[in-house]
Amino acid sequence: RVCPFFFHCHYSMNYPRTGSRYISEDVFEEVPTLLRKIGMPLSNPLNRHSVDNTKVTDHHSIIPTGETPSGLSADETTIYQMVVNRFIEAFSPDSEEERMQVRFTDGTNIFTWKACRQISLGWKAVQKGKEAEADKKEDGDEHILSSLPNLTEGEILSLVNADITEHKTKPKPLYTEATLLSAMENAGKEIEDAESKKAMAECGIGTPATRANIIETLILRDYIRRDKKAIIPTEKGLAVYEIVKDKRIANAEMTGSWELTLAAIEAGQMPPEKFAQGINSYVGTICEELLSLAPKQKSYPTYRCPKCGSESVGIYAKVAKCRNEGCNFHVFREVCGTLLTENYIRDLLTTGRTPILKGLISKAGKKFNARLVLNEDYTTSFEFEKRKGKQRGR
C-alpha cells in the first residue's frame, strides 16, 4: 500500500508492482547519479551483482528515483529508508569474512565448533548494527571473534571443563500474514531437488502484486482464517489438505520443473509445443487422481430456520440458507470484507444477533465495529455499540 503511494504521489520510487531483483545495463548507467542525489556516492567500481538484462522481467527492481519525499508518516519513512538502504547496499563492495568450522572428537563423540572473523564490512556498513543482529540470528551457534585460532588437523587439545545441558526443541511457530508472505516468496527453499530448487529461487508462489490477494481468497473461501495475529487452517482447509497432500497437484517440485522447462524454451532448447503437451498430460493425470478419491463425507450441523421453523439451515462456503423448498431465507457470509464464522452464523440464527464484528469496512473504505442483527422481516442490519459518555453534573 505504501510503495504505490511513493510512485504516484512523491515520484521517489519507480513502479512498485514488480517481482524483479535486477536492473538492466541502461539503468545501471544512472546509478552513480542516483547515489549522489540520495547523498551516498560510492567509489568505483560499483558492485554489479544486481545487473543482469536477462533476469529483468516486465520491470526492473524497486529503486529510488532521486526525488526527496517530504511530509512522510512513520510507516512511509520506514519503507522509503528500506528501499534506499537496499539500493546503496546493492552497489557497495562485497563483505569479506573468514569462517572456521572445527570438528573435535574424544574417540567416541564428535563435536562441532564454528567461528567467524569479519575482514571488511563492505555492504554491511550501510546498516552496521542491524546486519550484525541479523547475522547472529542466522546462525546462533557461530562465534563472532576478532581473530580465529590457529589449529591443525590431528592436534590434541587439553580439556578445560565439560558440562551437560538439557534442551527441548520447539515446534515451528504459526504463520502470521508477514511470515506467510515471506514463505510464499521463498517457497523454493523447501524443495529437495537441487535443479528445481534453483529454478524456484527466483519465483516462489505468486508475485508481489498477487500474494496478499491469494491469502485473502483462501480466507474468503474458508480454507484458512485469522486467529489474532496468526493464520491457521479451518476444518475445511485441513480436510482438503488431507485429500491432496500426497497427490501431484500439491507437489511443489512440479512448479520448479516448469520453471526449468520455461527457461529451456526461452533459450531455444525446447519447442513450446512439447511443454504444452506435458501440461495437458499433467492436467489429465491430476484430474484422474482427484476424481478417483472418495473422501469421507462429514455431516455438518443444521439449524432451525427463523422464517419457516424447520431444522433446515445449512452453512456453506459463501452463504447460510434454508434447504426447505419454498423458503428463501439466506444470509451471505461475507459482510463488509469480513467472513462470518460458523459460530457467528449460529449465534445469529439462535439469538438473533452476532457478537461485535471488528474491522468491518464501509463503502467509503473506513473501518467500523458492529453487531449483525436479524430483523423481523428476516433481513439483516447493523447494530452499533452505544458510546458511553461521562455525565456532567449541574
Kindly state whether residues 72 and 101 are assigned to the same domain.
Answer: no
Looking at per-residue pLDDT, the higher value among 34 and 44 belongs to 34
Which of 106-120, 170-184, 206-220, 324-338 is predicted with the least confidence, judged by mean pLDDT? Answer: 206-220
Kindly state whether residues 16 and 108 are assigned to the same domain.
Answer: no
* 375 pLDDT above the threshold of 90: yes
Confidence of residue 7 (pLDDT cuts 50, 70, 90): very low
The answer to whether position 173 is within a domain reads no
Kindly state whether residues 214 and 267 are assigned to the same domain.
Answer: yes
Average pLDDT over every residue of 121-149: 74
Q: Which residue has the cell 428463501?
A: 328
Looking at every residue in the chain, the average pLDDT score rounds to 82
Q: Which pLDDT belongs to residue 10?
A: 47
Which range marks the domain in which residue 238 is found? 185-292
d(CA 254, CA 242): 19
Kindly state whether residues 13 and 46 are assigned to the same domain.
Answer: yes
Kindly state whether residues 258 and 341 are assigned to the same domain.
Answer: no
The answer to whether position 359 is within a domain reads yes
Confidence of residue 231 (pLDDT cuts 50, 70, 90): very high
Tell me the CATH number at 71. Answer: 1.10.290.10
Kindly state whether residues 208 and 280 are assigned to the same domain.
Answer: yes
Closest residue by Cα to residue 141 from 118, 114, 101: 114
d(CA 27, CA 50): 11
d(CA 342, CA 237): 14
Which residues make Cβ contacts (< 8 Å) with residue 310, sequence separation at least 6? Answer: 304, 322, 324, 327
**Are 175 and 230 contacting, i.e. CB atoms less than 8 angstroms apart?**
yes
Average pLDDT over every residue of 4-29: 67
Average pLDDT over every residue of 308-322: 88
Measured in residues, the chain has a length of 394
Kindly state whether residues 189 and 281 are assigned to the same domain.
Answer: yes
Average pLDDT over every residue of 281-291: 86
* 112 pLDDT above the threshold of 70: yes
Which of 75-89, 125-139, 335-349 is predicted with the least confidence, judged by mean pLDDT? Answer: 125-139
Which residues make Cβ contacts (< 8 Å) with residue 176, sequence separation at least 6? Answer: 229, 230, 231
User: Tens digit of pLDDT for each residue in 86-101?
Assistant: 999 999 999 999 999 9
Kindly state whether residues 258 and 353 are assigned to the same domain.
Answer: no
Kindly state whether residues 81 and 101 are assigned to the same domain.
Answer: no
Closest residue by Cα to residue 27 from 57, 58, 63: 63
d(CA 370, CA 233): 26
* 251 pLDDT above the threshold of 90: no
Boundary of a domain, candidates 257, 292, 327: 292
Looking at per-residue pLDDT, the higher value among 173 and 3 belongs to 173
Q: Which pLDDT belongs to residue 188?
A: 67
d(CA 95, CA 125): 9
Kindly state whether residues 193 and 118 are assigned to the same domain.
Answer: no
Counted domains in the chain:
4
3-state secondary structure of 134: helix
Which of 115-129, 224-238, 297-311 is predicted with the least confidence, judged by mean pLDDT? Answer: 297-311
The answer to whether position 202 is within a domain reads yes
Q: Which pLDDT belongs to residue 8?
A: 43
Q: Which pLDDT belongs to residue 394?
A: 38
Range 107-116 burial, b when 16+ CB lie within 10 A, else e: eeeeeeeebb
User: Tens digit of pLDDT for each residue in 147-185?
Assistant: 999 999 999 998 888 888 888 888 889 999 999 988 888
Kindly state whether residues 35 and 11 are assigned to the same domain.
Answer: yes
How many other C-beta atoms lie within 10 A of the C-beta of residue 272? 10
Confidence of residue 232 (pLDDT cuts 50, 70, 90): very high
**For 293, how many CA atoms within 13 A lie in the half-sphere containing its CB?**
16
The answer to whether position 19 is within a domain reads yes
3-state secondary structure of 34: helix
pTM of the model: 0.52
Tell me the CATH number at 275. Answer: 1.10.460.10
Q: For the chain, state the CA radius of gyration.
A: 29
Confidence of residue 392 (pLDDT cuts 50, 70, 90): very low
The answer to whether position 168 is within a domain reads no
Q: Which pLDDT belongs to residue 198?
A: 64
